[in-house]
């Protein structure tokens, strides 16, 4: 089917399908109890989760060039195939060896996500230049919804881990991923391409080199890194830590696992998806600077309070909802803030550099969280998360928002010209 302005919402539907396929990385916490039972330490479980964001960020650096060379559809298919093959290889090998799974899930699957991740965002923003915040939030909501689908498929809905085991669950994931990619990639075309995959090279407002000379880049980068490190640390611990708290209060392991799985797989993931859409829409009205400051500051408060949330079923659901809602907002606010600051046409080249902050956070946060878990300091880990987010909010105060606002008022479609 040829896409035009009248049916351009098909682009959003296809983009959401692709992002659903890519969202499996956040299901990692559902596998950690199984791997710990197989002899893994907490640090090892978090190292795999650290490797995936790092590889996502590195692979994204090449996506801007590859999308011009291959076109959006082909790049999505390649990235999705690499992701699927990582899970299929891990599943069909039947291994629980740390090095093998680290490479196949952390490195290979993470790299596949990084190759494909930017494509739905860039394509959707080209089709909806007047609604960048809302559309970006809607597209990345698919990534957030993937948390619920992938976690609950393995856990209390699909019971895959219980019925077919860890390796077969990886295999099933690989098959579902490539199916979703095949469906969604059909609509990954740029406007006026008439269904072709060829992409013309366009000059953006800021080149990478020009962006790297801007003080604003380092302010946004440091805020994103702080929020990502805190969020990824917390996600890696939000099943293990509450399970230990609930079991220490006399709850059985099975019941505690169901509750924590529901907290992550339902409350966190639904709030994560809703937060991506809501924060994106709010930022179109409130402004990107104020939105980032508000999101990071409130997230810091929720992390500081999380040890109190973890002590009972319903407060845990509340904590997971609050954390998920704000964490999801990062993935709609920081891409659109990058567009506002450095130009819409060059986002495919520039946002992957900005997203290295996510990779840096992915290395620091989960690894530090795993270390603190091994020494029994889970509450201190969430305190670190809270402080990092509050720092991320503070540095955005120095962003030159007046430049953003003037530029957007002058040209809300294209964003900022060189200043």
The per-residue pLDDT for 1 is 57
Which whole-number Å values give the CA distances from 310 to 64, 123, 143, 304, in the listed order?
41, 40, 25, 12
Which whole-number Å values give the CA distances from 392 to 219, 298, 387, in the listed order?
9, 11, 9
Residue spans of beta strands (DSSP E) within 220-358: none
**Residue 377 scores a pLDDT above 80:** no
Q: Which of 344, 115, 156 is nearest to 258 (CA)?
A: 156
* Count of residues making up the chain: 419
**Residue 336 scores a pLDDT above 80:** yes
Buried-state track 281-311, b at ≥16 Cβ within 10 A, e below 16:
bbbbeebbbebbbbbbbbbbebbbbbbebbe
**Residue 167 scores a pLDDT above 90:** yes
Identify the DSSP state of 207: -
Confidence of residue 284 (pLDDT cuts 50, 70, 90): confident
What is the distance between the alpha carbons of residues 42 and 166, in angstroms, rounded to a whole number? 18
What is the distance between the alpha carbons of residues 164 and 160, in angstroms, rounded to a whole number? 5
Confidence of residue 108 (pLDDT cuts 50, 70, 90): very high
Give me Rg for the CA atoms of the chain.
Answer: 20
Q: Which of 60, 107, 59, 68 is nearest to 87 (CA)?
A: 107
The per-residue pLDDT for 46 is 80
Top-confidence residue, 206 or 400:
206
Contact residues for 384 (Cβ-Cβ < 8 A; gap 6+): 230, 233, 368, 372
H/E run at residue 412: none
HSE, side-chain direction, 13 A CA sphere, residue 125: 29
What is the distance between the alpha carbons of residues 348 and 339, in angstroms, rounded to a whole number? 10
* Token representation of residue 285: 């009205």
- DSSP per residue over 187-201, as a string? G---TTSTT------
Using DSSP, state whether 213 is helix, strand or coil: coil
* Token representation of residue 33: 């109890």
With respect to CATH, is domain 5-410 assigned 1.20.1250.20?
yes
N-to-C CA span, the chain: 41
Burial of 196 per CB tally in 10 Å (0-12, 13-18, 19+): exposed
What is the distance between the alpha carbons of residues 207 and 211, in angstroms, rounded to a whole number? 6
Burial of 351 per CB tally in 10 Å (0-12, 13-18, 19+): buried
Tell me what the pLDDT averaged over the chain comes to. Answer: 85
HSE, side-chain direction, 13 A CA sphere, residue 64: 20
Average pLDDT over residues 366-384: 79
Q: Which of 112, 119, 80, 101 is nearest to 28 (CA)?
A: 101
Helices (H), 71-207: 72-93, 98-101, 110-127, 132-154, 160-163, 165-184
Q: Are 70 and 197 in contact (CB under 8 A)?
A: yes
Residue for token pair 């299901």: 27
Model confidence pLDDT, tens digit, residues 218-250? 999 999 999 999 888 887 787 778 888 888 888
Cut 0.85: pTM above it: no
Model confidence pLDDT, tens digit, residues 27-61? 787 888 889 888 998 888 888 877 887 888 889 98
């Amino acid at each position: 089917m040829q896409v035009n302005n009248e049916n351009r919402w098909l682009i959003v539907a296809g983009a959401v399908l692709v992002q659903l396929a890519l969202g499996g990385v956040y299901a990692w916490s559902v596998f950690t109890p199984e791997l710990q039972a197989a002899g893994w330490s907490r640090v090892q479980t978090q190292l795999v989760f650290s490797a995936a964001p790092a590889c996502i960020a590195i692979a994204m650096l090449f996506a801007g060039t590859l999308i011009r060379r291959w076109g959006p559809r082909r790049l999505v298919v390649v990235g999705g195939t690499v992701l699927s093959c990582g899970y299929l290889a891990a599943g069909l090998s039947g291994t629980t060896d740390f090095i093998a799974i680290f490479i196949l899930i952390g490195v290979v699957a993470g790299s596949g996500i990084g190759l494909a991740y930017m494509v739905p965002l860039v394509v959707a923003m080209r089709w909806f230049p007047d609604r960048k915040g809302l559309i970006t939030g809607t597209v990345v909501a698919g990534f957030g919804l993937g948390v619920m689908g992938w976690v609950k498929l393995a856990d209390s809905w699909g019971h895959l881990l219980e019925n077919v085991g860890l390796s077969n669950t990886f295999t099933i994931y690989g098959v579902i991923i490539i199916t979703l990619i095949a469906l969604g990639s059909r609509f990954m075309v740029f406007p006026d391409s008439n269904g072709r995959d060829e992409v013309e090279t366009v000059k953006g407002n800021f080149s990478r080199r020009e962006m790297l000379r801007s003080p604003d880049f380092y302010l946004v980068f440091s805020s994103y890194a702080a929020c990502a490190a805190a969020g990824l640390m917390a996600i890696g611990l939000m099943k293990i830590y509450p399970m230990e708290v609930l079991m220490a209060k006399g709850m059985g392991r099975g019941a505690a696992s169901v509750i924590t799985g529901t907290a992550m797989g339902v409350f966190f993931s639904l709030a994560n998806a809703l937060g991506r859409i809501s924060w994106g829409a709010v930022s179109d009205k409130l402004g990107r600077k104020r939105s980032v400051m508000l999101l990071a500051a409130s997230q810091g408060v929720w992390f500081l309070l999380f040890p109190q949330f973890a002590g009972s079923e319903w407060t845990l659901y509340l904590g997971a909802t609050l954390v998920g809602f704000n964490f999801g907002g990062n993935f709609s606010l920081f891409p659109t803030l990058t567009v506002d600051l450095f130009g819409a046409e060059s986002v495919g080249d520039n946002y992957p550099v900005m997203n290295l902050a996510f990779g840096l956070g992915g290395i620091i946060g989960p690894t530090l969280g795993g270390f603190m878990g091994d020494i029994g300091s889970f509450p201190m880990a969430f305190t670190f998360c809270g402080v990092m987010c509050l720092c991320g909010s503070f540095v955005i105060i120095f962003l030159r928002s007046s430049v953003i606002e003037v530029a957007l008022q002058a040209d809300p479609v294209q964003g900022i010209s060189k200043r």
